[in-house]
Structure 1
Amino acid sequence: MAKDSDILRQKLLETTRLSAPIIDAAWPDWWDQADEGSISAQVELRFSLARKLGLEPQSLLNEDTPRFAWKDSGKYKNFSGDEEHEKPAISSFGISVSNLLLQSLKERQVTGGLDLSASSIREAILSTKPHIGIPELLTFLWGISVPVIHLRLFPLAAKRMCAMATKTQDQFSILLAKDARYPAPLAFHIAHEIGHIVLNHLGEFSAIVDMEDPAEGRRGEDLEEIDADKFALELLTGFPDPPIEVVGEGKSSRRLAKEAFDASEKFQIEPGTVSLCYGYQTGNWDVANGAMKHIYAEPMDVWKIVNAIAIDQLDLNLLPEESSSFLRAILGGDI
């Protein structure tokens, strides 16, 4: 006869579409086969899973089908897929993880509506830094109690998400999902999500989810995406539409890298961002990506930079041990 816990796990896999790795990470370490016959342990198991996966606890206790707690709380950009199952899973998981992040902040201040602009943020950062990249953006965000992490476990078997901004009682978080081998693309994703937050694109929603990379996405008539792009560009470069001038034929990656360093010093723009802007404007991504190899010493796991800072800014001891273990797994374990 199948055990109750095995039946529960299979039900979660089949009805929620959540990935096996995320369900396994949410399964509490204290659970033991000896708990199978304990009603109180079975109840606590279900409450534990619900807290971490964004599910309604009652739906795991006495309903046939688990229900997500934030089913209609997400606003999606460039979504294509199973709306009935995938949207609730992504938004509920993201909001649940964000709640854990906010609970584990070492220092917490209510950020409210963030009455800021791209230019004011840029001016504040450049008062002490030569340009704006990932470290500068993360220092700013953690300084105003906006956690930023890069997910190493994902709610769905197929990743299907680039980044997400969430809101819980006037507190914001940013969850990144798309990997990058160089810092500049991820810096743009972060700045884009800051744009969604500052421009109040979340509105009454608890999450806004960018399913595609802004470099690859189909903007069309989505004014919020266009405005978030312009916000990100102004924050990173000082220009909502950077004036990249292409002169002559056959521009090489090495030459673009040299010009990116020159522009960086002149305009206070991180060199990789200059290369990124060239790629956006010309569509010549072979040259733009090739320039990254000359701008940065070597490819890197950029997510490790993001999550190492997160680990330093969070106090996971503020969470129950099972929630702390879950969040650590999402961050990639020991970085």
Structure 2
Amino acid sequence: MTNTITMSALYGKLSKIGLKQDYIRENGLPSWWDEELNDKSVAVLEGAGYIANNLNLDLKSLLVPEEEVRFNPPPHTKFKQHNSNNKEHPHIAQALTSRVTELISYGTEINFTPIPTDVKEIRKEIITTHTTVNLKSLLEYCWNKGIIVGCFHNFPKKAKKFAGLIQWQGDRPVIILSSQHKHSARVTFDLAHELGHLALGHLEEGVLVDEEIEVNCHDDDEECQANQFATYLLLGDCDNCLKNKKFYNNKQLITHAKKKAQENPTVEVTSIILNNAWHNDNWGFANKALNTLDHETNGQKIINEYLADRLDWDKFNDESYEYLEKVLGV
């Protein structure tokens, strides 16, 4: 085997499961890899080890020519899929995320404290030390309870994606957000939604994958419960406080949202705007309003900066360090 294995052969096998050469070169192999090593069997064996380690692959299946490449067996997984006509699940995205989850859990020294099932208790606890429930105050709450939070969406282009994931690593939960939303209000809602699943006992082991986080959840009681949890956590009694008022431009929406925020000082203006869009399908004005108020904020970056500050980077070998640094964008 060591006399015949080439990187070209590995690329060919990996492409059959949706991992193309460019993706492997960028994410599976270390930056020092040189194309001159592609036909040197000993070097390729080492490279295969890096690919398998970073991308959660079974190394034997990668190296044995007659075997199809497979990911390492996942924990028991509960998929939350809203389109019942589409039976495809984001298995590749989950497998890649599970590896990142393992790494950041390994690099973090915190203990999990079970959280209340009553969202009012959680909101009250956050408000005792923060002015409003926003992304930063919710992140601090999660980390103080031993809940690891990160953002990761570094997937192959054609792989089916998901919005959020909770994975138990030993006795600790890890929440990974994976949508492309950058507005802090939307990222905060997604985090609150996943926290709702955790608080309400929807996942006690294994993995829960939210393929989408949408207002239309009538076919899934747990999704509706997580949405209700997130809504109250962020807005308290201010849910749908703008009701069905018609807005003619984003400036008018901002003006009314600010007025309601003044009346409800523990609620963020951006949360009110997002909430209005959910109730009235007013996404055009809402997105323009969020761009105006939140144009320099990147919610994903905030989450991963919190994560990076809490990782013990010295625990990782050079290749895992480089991989995490790249995919977390820190």
Instruction: Give the TM bin, normalised by the shorter chain.
Output: 0.7 to 0.9
Q: CA deviation at 1:95?
A: 1.4
- Partner-residue secondary structure (3-state), 2:10: helix
The alignment yields a C-alpha RMSD, in angstroms, of 2.9
Shift in Å, 1:99: 0.5
Q: Which residue is 1:271 aligned to?
A: 269
Partners of 2:80 and 2:196 in 1: CA distance: 14
- Rounded to whole Å, the distance in 1 between the matches of 2:244 and 2:87 is 45
How has the CA–CA distance of structure 1 residues 72 and 173 changed in structure 2, closer, same or farther, with 3 Å as cutoff?
closer
Partner of 2:139: 138
Structure 2: state its 5+ residue gaps.
none
* Equivalent residue runs for 1:252-331 within 5 Å: 252-267=249-264, 268-296=266-294, 298-331=295-328
CA contact (8 A) 1:91 1:207 kept: no
Cα distance change on mapping 1:234 and 1:115 into 2, 3 Å: same
Q: Distance in 1 between matches of 2:181 and 2:90?
A: 24
Q: What residue identity is the alignment partner of 2:105?
A: L
Find the aligned partners of 1:197 and 1:88 in 2 and give their Cα distance.
22
Residue-pair matches, total? 323
* Aligned mates of 1:120, 1:20 — CA distance in 2: 49
Per-residue CA deviations over 1:169-211 (Å, capped at 9, x if unaligned) read: 122112222223421111101111111222222344x222222
1:26–1:52 CA contact under 8 A, matched in 2? yes
Q: What is the aligned counterpart of 1:78 among 77, 81, 84?
A: 81
> 2:201 is matched with which residue?
200
Aligned counterparts of 1:142 and 1:53: Cα–Cα separation in 2: 26
Instruction: For 1:156 and 1:294, locate their aligned partners in 2 and report how far apart those are by CA, in whole Å.
Output: 30
TM-score normalised to the size of structure 1?
0.84
Residue 14 of structure 2 corresponds to 12
Superposition pairs of residues 36-75 of structure 1, within 5 angstroms? 36-39=39-42, 41-62=43-64, 64-71=67-74, 73-75=76-78
Give the Cα separation in 2 of the matches to 1:51 and 1:126: 42
Mapped to 1, the partners of 2:184 and 2:124 lie a distance apart of 21
Q: Write the deviation string for residues 229-286 of structure 1: whole angstroms up to 9, x where unpaired.
A: 01111111124x8242436554543232123223223321111001111111122222
CA drift at 1:299 = 4.7
Query: How far 1:319 sits from its partner (Å)?
Result: 0.9
Question: Hey, what's the Cα distance between the residues in 1 that align with 2:7 and 2:223?
Answer: 43
How far the C-alpha of 1:152 sits from its partner, in A, is 4.9
The residue number in structure 1 matching 2:94 is 91
The separation in 1 between residues aligned to 2:63 and 2:305, in whole angstroms, is 37
Q: What is the alpha-carbon distance in structure 1 between the residues aligned to residue 70 and residue 291 of structure 2?
A: 46
Alignment of 1:226-245 (within 5 A): 226-239=224-237, 242-245=239-242
Q: 1:46 to 1:132 in 2, by over 3 A?
A: same
Retained in 1: the 8 A contact 2:152–2:327?
yes
Retained in 1: the 8 A contact 2:192–2:233? yes
Distance 2:248 2:40 in 1: 70
- Is contact 1:22–1:153 with CA below 8 Å preserved after alignment? no
Structure 1 residues not aligned, in runs of 5+: none
Deviation at 1:35, TM superposition (A): 8.0
Structure 1 segments, 4+ long, off by >6 Å, are 79-82
Tell me how far apart the structure 2 counterparts of residues 31 and 286 of structure 1 sit (CA, whole Å): 46
* Bigger mean CA deviation after superposition, 57-66 or 272-281: 57-66
Alignment of 1:209-220 (within 5 A): 209-215=209-215, 218-220=216-218
Between the two proteins, what is the percent identity of the paired residues?
Answer: 26
- The aligned counterpart of 1:165 is 166
